Amino acid sequence: MVLAAWLQPPRSDVAVVTDPRERRGLWIEVTLVLLVTLGMSGLRSLVSLLDSLASTVPLAQQTVAINVPQARAGYLDLVGQLLSVTRLVAWGALGIFLLWRSRFTLASLGLDRTRPGRDGAWGAGLAALVGIPGLGLYLVARALDLNLNVAPSTLNSAWWTVPVLVLSAAANAWAEEALIVAYLLTRLRQLGAGGNGSLLASAVLRGSYHLYQGFGGFVGNVVLGLVFGRLWQRTGRLWPLVVGHTIIDVVAFVGYALLAPHVSWL
């Protein structure tokens, strides 16, 4: 009964916009936001996957890196990494700002600071719930030649490497959850999409910008998107998603950077 209840979308308090001019404006806004942020990442990721498939080398024998050097000089690389972090933070802030301008409060989006302990505990639980099966799916997809070998980091070892990887993880989590969950689900409901339809669209978009990793990356992130999106729909809390996503990425990014030189199967 509990599972059946969670599979059903909750009633939404978001009012559907009926004025044709306002609806047109919302569609234009959503299109532009996605084209300059994660939607464009999805299109570029699709191109990357098609390029990998066109190669004569099997997917499992190809490698793709997530955090890569952005300059040969160490401190210029640091500046480049921090600029990438700033861009991700700005992407997420853009989505939240646009909703705030539309009179959605931070509390209504689950971004108030009234329950940090509970939000943090929920986030840690989500990281364990999603992260461990996600690793298993990645390994299975690689074994079936459906996924590339993903190197979470190829950054050179420096005093700033681990802090930058942690910042990158947090920025990734913030951008994705703010845009793909809070912003997109809210806007789609305003445009009249149902709870399940908007959830599926959000999850598929999340999977699309992981296509560069292969089919396993796509499927795993669609599933993650369904879980995270439904949790936000049911609880209205965004911080646990940001925290959980951050933990997953910190473990992947920092763990790989520290272990890869010593563990051959990574």
- Mean pLDDT calculated for residue range 58-65: 97
CA 221 to chain centre: 8
pLDDT exceeds cutoff 90 at 223: yes
pLDDT for res 58:
97
Give CA–CA dist 29/9, Å, rounded: 25
How far apart are the C-alpha atoms of 187 and 204, rounded to whole Å?
16
- 185, 229 contact by CB (below 8 A): yes
Tell me, what's the pLDDT at 8?
74
* Residue 221, pLDDT score: 97
- The pLDDT score that the predictor gives to residue 10 is 75
pLDDT for residue 262? 60
Nearest of 124, 165, 138 to residue 253 by alpha carbon:
165
Report the C-alpha gap between 253 and 132 in whole angstroms.
Answer: 15
Which tokens sit at 169? Answer: 């993880």
pTM score, two decimals? 0.94
> Which range is least confidently modeled, 3-17, 97-111, 175-189?
3-17
Examine the pLDDT at 2 and tell me if it is beyond 80. no
Helices (H), the chain: 2-7, 20-36, 38-54, 74-101, 116-143, 161-176, 184-190, 195-208, 215-235, 239-259
* pLDDT-based confidence at residue 91 (cuts at 50, 70, 90): very high
